[in-house]
Amino acid sequence: MTAESYGPFGCVVTAPREAEPPKRHTTRDDQFRERLADWLTFMVPMFIAELRNASDKEIEQARTDALEQIASHGDDLQYGGKHQASSRTALAKAFAILARADGGVTALGVHACLRPHKDCPSHALISERQQQQ
Ligand SMILES: [Zn+2]
């Protein structure tokens, strides 16, 4: 990690949903998406910290494991089943791995990154909070 990083837990925030029109009622998919985003913003920083000193080989193995779990049990991830916990954990680990890329990752209502970068959604949140104080 360089001196220009967000620290051991990286930066994990809910991504803005500005492109979506307002809805009149909340659907089951909306509730799932919101709960998953909340869960990811809690879990991804822990996996970022866990993987922060991992070697390239360890990252590759974690990537392969997460990919296999998500590909095999993505239905359990979304709809529940005996592999729900392990597939959601694999998803959080995948976000932690993708956060290492330049510009981080934005998906499923969550943004995660390790270093400050252009157009990071956290910049807007930080300035919004500073204006509220
Ligand atoms: Zn970012």
Q: Residue 20: what pLDDT?
A: 61
Please indicate whether residue 115 or residue 125 has the higher confidence score (pLDDT). Answer: 115
Q: Using one digit for the tens of pLDDT, what is the confidence trace for 62-106? A: 999 999 999 999 888 888 899 999 999 999 999 999 999 999 999
Q: Is the pLDDT assigned to residue 126 strictly greater than 90?
A: no
d(CA 22, CA 30): 12
Please give the radius of gyration of the chain, using alpha carbons only, rounded to the nearest integer. Answer: 16
- Tell which residue, 79, 78, 107, 83, has the closest CA to residue 95: 107
Q: Residue 94: what pLDDT?
A: 97
How far, in Å, is the centroid of ligand 1 from the Cα of 111? Answer: 6
Q: What is the pTM of this model?
A: 0.84
Amino acid at 44: V
For the chain, domain boundaries: 29-132
How far, in Å, is the centroid of ligand 1 from the Cα of 24? Answer: 31
Q: Residue 112: what pLDDT?
A: 96
The answer to whether 122 touches 112, Cβ cutoff 8 Å, is: no
3-class DSSP state of 65: helix
How far, in Å, is the centroid of ligand 1 from the Cα of 7? Answer: 13
Q: Residue 77: what pLDDT?
A: 87
d(CA 101, CA 119): 14
How far, in Å, is the centroid of ligand 1 from the Cα of 69? Answer: 26
User: Which phi and psi angles does 14 have, rounded to 5°?
Assistant: -75, 135
Q: Residue 18: what pLDDT?
A: 64
Q: Residue 2: what pLDDT?
A: 47
Tokens of 55: 């070697």
How far, in Å, is the centroid of ligand 1 from the Cα of 131? Answer: 20
Q: Using one digit for the tens of pLDDT, what is the confidence trace for 2-56? A: 457 888 999 999 987 765 666 677 787 788 888 999 999 999 999 999 999 999 9
Look-up: residue for tokens 């009622």? 25
State the greatest distance between any 2 C-alpha atoms of the chain, in Å, as a whole number. 48
How far, in Å, is the centroid of ligand 1 from the Cα of 82? Answer: 33
How far, in Å, is the centroid of ligand 1 from the Cα of 105? Answer: 8
